[in-house]
């Protein structure tokens, strides 16, 4: 289960593909943010989802909403995945799984991230959420619908 709407998003610091590290409360203060958790770089479903965020990225940029993909893959794998698919947004490495767990996005037995996307408002409260392992492209359209309400 994803965190409920209205919940304060857990703060975190994670290493990013081209920005060093990102701290939610510091680097993204007073900004709405999209955080999408996904299982693994270079898998079919995760590649489809990442490329859908890439293809729709202009809509998020126009609204000044940064997009961050988060998985347990390491930084080197993230950098390769980002370069291979020309992703215009940051990927964050949560190798320990602590952030995935804090966002209720860690599958319990296999310790792999679930596919959950959160929209955080400018106070970093959960304003929208979409969860679905096999609805790869639907995560993007769900966030765009939420933003256009």
Q: Which residues contact 34 (CB under 8 A, 6 or more apart)?
A: 60, 65, 66, 67, 68, 117, 118, 119, 120, 143
Catalytic pick among 16, 24, 46, 99: 46
Task: Please tell me the distance from the alpha carbon of residue 42 to that of residue 47, in angstroms, as a whole number.
Answer: 6
- State the distance between the two ends of the chain, measured CA to CA, in whole angstroms: 24
Task: Please tell me the distance from the alpha carbon of residue 83 to that of residue 89, in angstroms, as a whole number.
Answer: 11
What residue spans of 7-129 are helical by DSSP H? Answer: 24-27, 44-55, 57-62, 75-84, 98-102
Query: Which structure tokens are listed for 81?
Result: 């995945």
Whether 51 is catalytic is: no
Annotated active-site positions, please?
Answer: 46
């Amino acid at each position: 289960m994803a965190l409920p709407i209205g919940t304060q998003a857990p703060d975190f610091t994670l290493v990013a593909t081209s920005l060093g590290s990102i701290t939610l409360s510091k680097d993204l203060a007073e900004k709405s943010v999209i955080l999408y958790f996904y299982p693994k770089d270079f898998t079919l479903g995760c590649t489809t989802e990442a490329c859908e965020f890439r293809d729709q990225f202009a809509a998020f940029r126009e609204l000044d909403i940064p997009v961050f993909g988060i998985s347990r893959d390491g930084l080197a794998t993230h950098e390769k995945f980002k370069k291979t698919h020309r992703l215009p947004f940051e990927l964050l490495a949560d190798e320990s799984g602590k952030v995935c767990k804090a966002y209720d996005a860690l599958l319990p037995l296999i310790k792999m991230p679930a596919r959950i996307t959160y929209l955080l408002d400018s106070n970093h409260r959960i304003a929208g959420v979409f969860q679905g392992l096999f609805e790869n492209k639907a995560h993007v359209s769900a966030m765009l619908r939420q933003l256009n309400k």
